[in-house]
């Protein structure tokens, strides 16, 4: 009888531990407390996506790429090059599994892509895209009053959109100082302070300086900086421009 009681008590203890264990493992708060690393979905496996993916993976972050073709040889190479347990899945599945989503697709399809990503509520959405097109080697600026970042925010109103990484070259993202020989500033803007702070941390971790331009009203200013950046690259090839801003107090 005593043995039976002891066994029952042991089983109760084990099942309670299992329930508590499950709770701890699946509660986002518990996950955040135990680790400073992030799970980052990167939409687009091109120059920007894979370069930032590799740089963040090297800092311990888990990268889930969202691709239109996740089962190709190219996708396998991307996983291998990125390391640290990176994966490639369909775009919507990538966004679902991450609290941070980097948009690194062509700007022309940006709003359609955002519409297919599912519920982005509470996620930090980094917009690295420049709404620029080219004709006969010339840069064509869009005639929009609103700006791409604001349009993305309107499309995903409960997400925290931060414009960043649009005003630097993708190669530079693999090591700003090593590639350019000096400090490189990434200007950022977005309506939520904590989201901007998170993106600023992600940028500094991989070697950038950050210029926090401010809230949603500054999204377009960062987009203008992106255009200045691209305009210089177009007219001064093979010379590139990188921003290195300093702030000072009056």
Ligand X SMILES: NC(=O)c1ccc[n+]([C@@H]2O[C@H](COP(=O)([O-])OP(=O)(O)OC[C@H]3O[C@@H](n4cnc5c(N)ncnc54)[C@H](OP(=O)(O)O)[C@@H]3O)[C@@H](O)[C@H]2O)c1
The packing angle between helices 219-235 and 148-155, to 10°, is 140
Q: Judged by CB, which is closer to ligand X: 23, or 134?
A: 134
Count, in order, helices (H) and strands (E) of the chain: 10, 10
Q: Name the pairing type of β-strands 133-135 and 138-140.
A: antiparallel
**Minimum CB–partner distance for residue 68 and ligand X (Å):** 4
**Residues listed for the chain:** 250
State which residue has the least CB distance to ligand X: 46
The SS3 call for residue 182 is: coil
DSSP 161: E
Q: Judged by CB, which is closer to ligand X: 239, or 250?
A: 239
Going edge to edge, which strands form the sheet with 62-67? 87-90, 62-67, 39-43, 100-103, 124-127, 160-163, 185-190, 209-214
Q: Judged by CB, which is closer to ligand X: 111, or 216?
A: 111
**Minimum CB–partner distance for residue 74 and ligand X (Å):** 7
**Minimum CB–partner distance for residue 195 and ligand X (Å):** 19
Q: Judged by CB, which is closer to ligand X: 58, or 92?
A: 92
Q: Judged by CB, which is closer to ligand X: 68, or 236?
A: 68
**Minimum CB–partner distance for residue 77 and ligand X (Å):** 11
**Minimum CB–partner distance for residue 83 and ligand X (Å):** 18
- The site for ligand X (CB under 6 A) is made up of 44-49, 67-69, 104-107, 109, 113, 128-130, 165-166, 169-170
């Amino acid at each position: 009888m005593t043995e039976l009681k002891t066994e029952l008590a042991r089983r109760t203890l084990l099942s309670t531990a299992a329930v508590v264990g499950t709770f701890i493992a699946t509660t986002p708060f518990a996950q955040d407390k135990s680790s400073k690393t992030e799970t980052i979905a990167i939409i687009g496996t091109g120059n920007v996506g894979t370069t930032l993916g590799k740089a963040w993976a090297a800092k311990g972050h888990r990268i889930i790429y969202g691709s239109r073709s996740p089962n190709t040889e190219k996708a396998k190479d991307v996983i291998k090059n990125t390391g640290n347990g990176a994966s490639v899945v369909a775009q919507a599945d990538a966004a679902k599994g991450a609290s941070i989503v980097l948009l690194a697709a062509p700007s022309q399809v940006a709003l359609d892509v955002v519409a297919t990503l599912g519920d982005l509520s509470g996620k930090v959405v980094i917009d690295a895209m420049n709404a620029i097109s080219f004709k006969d080697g010339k840069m064509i600026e869009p005639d929009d009053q609103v700006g791409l970042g604001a349009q993305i925010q309107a499309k995903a109103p409960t997400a925290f959109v931060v414009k960043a990484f649009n005003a630097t070259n993708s190669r530079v993202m693999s090591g700003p100082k090593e590639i350019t020989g000096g400090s490189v500033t990434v200007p950022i803007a977005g309506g939520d302070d904590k989201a901007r702070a998170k993106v600023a941390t992600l940028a500094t971790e991989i070697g950038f300086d950050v210029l926090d331009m401010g809230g949603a009203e500054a999204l377009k200013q960062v987009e203008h900086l992106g255009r200045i950046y691209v305009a210089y690259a177009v007219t001064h090839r093979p010379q590139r421009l990188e921003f290195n801003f300093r702030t000072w107090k009056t």
